[in-house]
Amino acid sequence: MMRPARSRVQHGMPSCTRYGCKREECMEARRRASRRNYHAAKTEGPARVSSEEAFQYGHKLMRAGVSALDIAERSGVSPTQVRRLLRGELPGMLRETSDAILGVPMPDEGKPGREDGLVDATGARRRLQALAVQGFSTTVLSVESGVMRLTISDIRAGTQKRIRLSTLRVVVALHEKLWDVDPLDLGVKLSAVSRTKKHAEREGWLPTEAWSDIDDPDCKPALGAPRYVVLTEDAQELMEKQGYTRKAAAERLGVKTDTLNAAMAYYAKAKAVS
């Protein structure tokens, strides 16, 4: 094998022998490395392992708000290698590298990663599309979030496959604020609401309740009862049959008390209209 012109391999390194070097110092380095790998395989398992477990855990970390840069910083693995892993470009990797990534702690619920790295845009795209189904235009969403209208439009259309973690956090908060709100109640013009709804229908976008896990790229949509109906009816069952307080019911259902209050108010309003 010809040694690359910019190779950093030097004499005395085990890998030097890959290029045909027969120096004794290089041959001995290779023998030492072979002995280490042999003993490691006997006592600790193979030196190289499948990257599947680290790949799955890395994506789980990202869905919890930990960016690729966070994973790199906390594991000591280079950002380039972490990104290659997350893109599925590493069929195998060193066992110690896999162990380092698997050792990155899962963040506490509701506490996102520290670095403003790039993350998958799936959750943001689905949330913005769901808000469009309700009739919220990019102009209104820009005003409500402080994010540029063009950015919202690009994310919603799927043009941006990866976005800043800080942008994702803003979109999540925006969706949490508006997912059960009628745009007309905020003073949005009926013509703008109708136009946005028609656009969403043409694009085949789906409402919030279509997603059991809105952030999971592999989640398949399943249309059913609206989220506010499910939350309200589940909460009512907990409160009426099991004696839960509303706050305790919200905690059991994994939502904020304010979110449950809004769902129940929207549910009562829908019942009154029907």
pLDDT tens profile 100-109: 788 877 776 4
SS3 per-residue string spanning the chain: CCCCCCCCCCCCCHHHHHHCCCCHHHHHHHHHHHHHHHHHHHHCCCCEEECHHHHHHHHHHHHCCCCHHHHHHHHCCCHHHHHHHHCCCCCEEEHHHHHHHHCCCCCCCCCCCCCCCEEECHHHHHHHHHHHHHCCCHHHHHHHHCCCHHHHHHHHHCCCCEEEHHHHHHHHHHHHHHCCCCHHHHCCCHHHHHHHHHHHHHHCCCCHHHCCCCCCCCCCCCCCCCHHHHHHHHHHHHHHHHCCCHHHHHHHHCCCHHHHHHHHHHHHHHHHHC
Query: Where along the chain do its domains lie?
Result: 14-45, 49-102, 118-210, 227-273
Residue 4 has pLDDT above 70, yes or no: no
The better pLDDT of the pair 164, 137 is held by 137
- Quick: pLDDT tens for 236-259: 988 998 899 999 988 887 778 888
What tens digit of pLDDT does each residue of 82-92 get?
A: 888 988 888 88
